[in-house]
Each structure stands twice: as structure tokens, then as C-alpha cells.
Amino acid sequence: MSNPQDNTASILQKNKKVLIASLTGSAIEWFDYFLYGTAAALVFNKIFFPMVDPVIGLILSWLSFSLTFFIRPIGGVIFAHIGDRIGRKKTLVLTLSLMGSATVAIGLLPTYEMVGLWAPALLITLRIIQGMGIGGEWGGALLLAYEYAPEKRKGFFGSIPQAGVTIGMLMATFIVSLMTLFDEAQFLAWGWRIPFLLSSVLVFLGLWIRKDIDETPAFKQVKKSGQVAKAPLRDTLKHHWREVLIAAGLKVVETAPFYIFSTFVVSYATTTLSYQKSQALESVTLGALVATVMIPLMGLLSDKVGRQKDVHPERGAAGAVYRPVVPAARHRHRLGHHAGDDRCLRHPVGAGNRGARHPVL
């Protein structure tokens, strides 16, 4: 007869491994993602789009970053289909490998001066690959944590991969901040490449951590019963298209403002407002640090009060901040300088319960 205490300890140990694997993989993927955004704000317009006016170059740089907003849903759909066929674990290995290889390749790219238009073309291609990877990672990591979660801890477990988003942003802005200690010529020549190349170490670490994770109990049960869907994407769109549209709408509302204050603010502060790179990056870093702590707390709160009660305040509170930020920033007001921090105090309210809210729509 098995000892109940031993079974409980085994479950707790397995849950701990799942949370660590989910958090680590998510953080690494989002590190790669935000690393591109930070580099787009500071570097890419100068080395990949120097053939046009600097303002146009910056716009093109941001357009290359924004590609993933269109590619991520496609990646999410493809890898959701794959995950429902072969399982969450194998799918997450694929997404992490895809994202990591594209990020390292960006760090090895030749510049426009070396190969001409091939440079931006290759950059855009690799960014599309990144978008596919992150599209699959986000949903896969949430499902991994959610399907392992005890019934009364769905919010907390679902918040852990969400904390990986801000940890990734924290790591990306911090390491780029260190690279800005080089002078401008060194930073543009090779300093910006170092974080992209270091991503290879993080990816191997993430794959090593995920190798010991079992498939989720929910998928094991479906597989054992022989009910694995042959065309899960078709079935989802046929029977749950309303829920898909609701989830997409919620994500759009939550995501757009977040990126204004996590990536765009860096280029706006350093070009239009003439802040130092280090000042802008420090502001975003501090905001990410605060959000990383707040997101799991909001996940715990959602387990206590429900998913709906703690999501609505984010909308009103965030909206109250957005309108005065740019005018205040133009006058170098403290609010403008810490816009990233202010956003990251409000973002966790919605992010903390998102992992448990979306799967049950």
C-alpha cells in the first residue's frame, strides 16, 4: 500500500519541476523576444536600414519588430495543433529550439554595409521565425502549468509562465544596459551581438531543465483513452470559435499598451527626448522587476476572488496613465521618465490571471 504522504511529496516535487521548467523556458523565449525589441530601438536602424533617412530607418526597424504581432497567432495555431497531437512537452522543446536558433543567428548576421539588402531581408526572415516560436511557446507554457495545477491553484500556476515574460524583459534590458557601457562605435560594431549569442547558453539550459518533465496528466488521459483529435484545429474553430475571438480580443487590449511602455519608450526617450540609453533601459528594467514580483501575487489573488474581479481594474487604471504620459515625458516630468515602471505596476493585474482565464473561456 502506498503511503499518502509519499504520494503528496511526489506530487509537490513534480509540480515544482513543472513550474521551474515553465518559468525558465518562458523567460528564455521572452528574453530573445525583447532583446530584439531593445536592439530595434537602439541599433538595427543604423546597421540594417542605413540606406534611408534615420527616421524612416527607425520606422522600418520597428516594422520588423511588429511582424511578430501577425506571425505569433499563426505560430500559436500551428503549435497548438502539434501540441494536441504529440503533447505539450515535445512541442515546447520545438518552440524553444526554434526561438533560440533564430536569436543566435541574428547575432551572426552581416550588416547592410557588408551584403546590402540581404542583411535586412535575413533579419526579417529570422524575426518571422522568432514570431513562430514565441507564438507556440506562450500558449504551450501556460497549458503545461495549467494542466498540472491543483484545482484551487490554477491562477497561481498559470501566472508563473506570465512572470517569465517580465523576467525575459528584465534580462534583455539589463544585459543590453551593460553593453551600452562600450562606446558608440564598439556597441554598433559588435557589442550589440553579445546578448544574442549568449542566448545559446540560455536555450541549452532551458532544454536541459525541460528534459525531465513528464507529459501533462490531461494529455496522458486523452492519449490513453484514444481520443486524441486528428484535426484539433478544425475542431476548435468549428465548436469554439466564439471563445477564440474573445481570447484574441482580450489579448489585443492587454498587449498593445504593454509594448508601448516596454519597447517603444526606449527609442522615444533616447531619440525624441535625448535621454541616455542607460536611463531609458534602467526605467524599463525597474518596471520589469516590480512586475515580476506582482504577477504571481495577482495569480494567487485570482484564486481567492475569481478571474473576473481582478481584471477590470487593469483597464481603467492603465487607461488613466496612458494619456498624460507623452506630454509629461516631453517636459521631462518624472512620470514620463518612469512610464515603463508605471505600466509594469498595472500590467500584472491582468497578466496574473490570464493563464487561468483563457483556458476556460
Q: How is 46-79 classified by DSSP, letter by letter?
A: HHTSTTS-HHHHHHHHHHHHHHHHHHHHHHHHHH
262 has pLDDT over 50: yes
User: Cα separation of 174 and 281, whole Å?
Assistant: 7
Confidence of residue 145 (pLDDT cuts 50, 70, 90): confident
Higher pLDDT, 313 or 346: 346
Question: Could you tell me which residue, 171 or 283, shows the higher pLDDT?
Answer: 171
Buried/exposed code over 1-31 (b: 16+ C-beta within 10 A; e: otherwise): eeeeeeeeeeeeeebebbbebbbbbbbbbbb
pLDDT, tens digit, for every residue of 214-226? 777 777 777 777 6
Helix axes 232-239, 241-259, angle to 10 degrees: 100
Cell of 153: 491553484
Identity of the amino acid at 21: A
pLDDT of residue 29: 84
Q: How many CB atoms lie within 10 A of CB 68?
A: 22
Q: 78, exposed or middle or buried, with CB in 10 Å at 0-12, 13-18, 19+?
A: middle
Q: What DSSP letter does each residue of 243-256 carry, written as one string?
A: HHHHHHHHHHHHHH
Where do runs of H (alpha helix) occur along the chain? 4-42, 44-47, 54-86, 88-107, 112-115, 118-148, 154-179, 184-186, 193-210, 217-225, 232-239, 241-259, 265-267, 277-305, 312-330, 334-337, 339-357
Whole-Å CA distances, 276 to 91, 271, 279, 281, 283:
41, 9, 5, 9, 11
Report yes or no: 279 and 164 within 8 Å, Cβ to Cβ: no
Q: What's the CA angle centered on 22, arms 16 and 26, to 5 degrees?
A: 150
Q: What is the pLDDT of residues 295-322, one digit of tens each?
A: 888 888 888 877 665 455 444 444 444 4
Residue 145 amino acid letter = A
CA distance 24 to 226: 32
- Domain ranges (residues) in the chain: 4-360
Name the band, by pLDDT with cuts 50, 70 and 90, for residue 4.
Answer: very low
Q: Give 4-360's CATH code, choosing from 3.40.50.620, 3.30.1330.30, 3.40.50.300, 1.20.1250.20.
A: 1.20.1250.20
Distance CA 158, CA 20 (A): 12
- Residues near 324 by beta carbon (within 8 Å), at least 6 away in sequence: 335
pTM of the model: 0.77
Residue 256 class from Cβ within 10 Å (0-12 exposed, 13-18 middle, 19+ buried)? exposed
83 exposure class (CB count in 10 Å sphere: 0-12, 13-18, 19+) = buried
DSSP string covering 324-345, please?
HHHHHHHTT-HHHHTHHHHHHH
Distance of CA 149 to the CA centre of its chain: 21
Residue 27, amino acid? A
Work out the widest C-alpha separation in the chain, in whole angstroms: 75
State the pLDDT at residue 128.
Answer: 94
Can you tell me whether residue 356 is helix, strand or coil?
A: helix
At 161-204, the pLDDT tens digits run: 888 888 998 888 888 888 888 888 999 999 999 999 999 999 99
Please report, rounded to a whole number, the percentage of residues in the chain having pLDDT higher than 90: 17
Taking the C-alpha atoms of residue 68 and residue 125, their distance in angstroms, rounded to an integer, is 11
pLDDT for residue 334 is more than 70 = no
